[in-house]
Amino acid sequence: MPELPEVETMRRGIAGVAGCRIETVRFPPSRVRPIVTMPSARQIARRLPGDRIAAVARLGKRVVLELASSRRLVIEPRMTGRVLVADPPDLVHLRMVLELAGGKHPRLYFWDWRGLGIVRLFSADDFQRTLGPDQVGPDALEISAAELRARLANSHRAIKVALMDQRAVSGVGNLYASEILHRAGIHPATRCNQLGIREWRRLHAAMRTVLRSALRFQGSTLADGMYATAANRPGRYQQCHAVYRRAGQRCLRCGTGIIVRIVQAGRSTFFCPRCQQARSA
């Protein structure tokens, strides 16, 4: 967390900063773990003032401020980061403040409880070298069924693990991978090279349906309350979760299966053994 629906909700929420001029950049001092900045916070604070935000974009799980100078300021929320135009929850975990002029939002905030987020300032060339198509896969809402299959069908990895590979397809993480596979009726441990064409098409359709639905509900705010929209409001898609964190509960789809939790690549996976039956090797 946050994944594509949450980061895209953030992007939409701060879209109004496009056209604003950056007056100052502050990285408030704090007693808690500092975030990673590249280059240093001092250099970013010196280089950005006077530039204008030309557009607000998203790259997978990252918010990208496209600047008039052709540079990119990339904010990666990671586990507990929020990109806000509303007042942050507290000042202790406030990591960066952009003072803006010429628009409806006077400030843009980056707040991060655990300090795992990353802020990077790229030149146009460095952005392409570091986060271009060779490093980040097609967006999960834009990739076609044929391209999804072409990128993953020869892999011997479990489909759940492969879906979270950001070089293959960007934006899907642990939560939505479980929800997508449940909707597609595919066991999460199934190897990619075991899936047939119809299953790839079903998987692609499920991915689009789940992610679009999550976007409509402005993402998922879990029990820790860490995720919130740019207006500092919780998402609502957690009310629609079919399997995620529902281990031991009855499946909402078939009504008889009991949701199971397993661990894959160090992450929790949730599925219904009745709706998502395992297949032999």
Judgement on whether residues 19 and 106 belong to the same structural domain of the protein: yes
In this prediction the pTM is 0.96
Based on the fold, state whether residues 9 and 74 are members of the same structural domain. Answer: yes
Count: domains in the chain: 2
Is 104 part of the annotated catalytic residue set? Answer: no
Q: Angle CA(113)–CA(267)–CA(140) in degrees, nearest 5?
A: 85
Choose, from 21, 236, 245, 267, the residue flagged as catalytic.
267
What is 49-94 written as a DSSP string?
Answer: TT-BEEEEEEETTEEEEEETTS-EEEEE-TTTEEEESSPPS-STTE
Same domain, 158 and 187: yes
Q: Is residue 32 part of a domain?
A: yes
Does a structural domain hold residue 48?
yes
DSSP secondary structure letter of residue 242: S
Q: 161 and 107 share a domain?
A: no
Cα–Cα distance for residue pair 120/40, rounded to 1 Å = 9
Query: Which of 268, 57, 277 lies closest to 178, judged by CA?
Result: 268
Catalytic one of 11, 58, 61, 120? 61
CATH number at residue 227: 1.10.8.50
Could you read off the pLDDT of 69-86 as tens digits, one per residue? 999 999 999 999 999 999
pLDDT for the residue 151: 97
pLDDT tens readout for residues 190-237:
999 999 999 999 999 999 999 999 999 999 999 999 999 999 999 999
pLDDT tens digits, 138-189:
999 999 999 999 999 999 999 999 999 999 999 999 999 999 999 999 999 9
- Together in a domain, 9 and 127: yes
The CATH number given to whatever domain includes residue 42 is 3.20.190.10
Catalytic residue among 2, 77, 88, 188: 2
Q: How far apart are the first and last CA of the chain?
A: 32
**Can 267 be counted among the known catalytic residues?**
yes
Question: What proportion of the chain, given as a percentage, has pLDDT over 90?
Answer: 97
3, 8, 76, 179: the catalytic one is: 3
Q: Would residue 160 show up in a list of annotated catalytic residues for this protein?
A: no
* pLDDT recorded at residue 30: 84
* Residue 50, in any domain of the structure: yes
Residues 150, 195 within the same domain: yes
Q: Do 156 and 123 share a structural domain?
A: no
Q: Known catalytic residue: 2?
A: yes
In a domain, 247, yes or no: no
Tens-place pLDDT, residues 102-141? 999 999 999 999 999 999 999 999 999 999 999 999 999 9
Q: What's the domain range around 91?
A: 4-131
Residue 280 lies in a domain: no
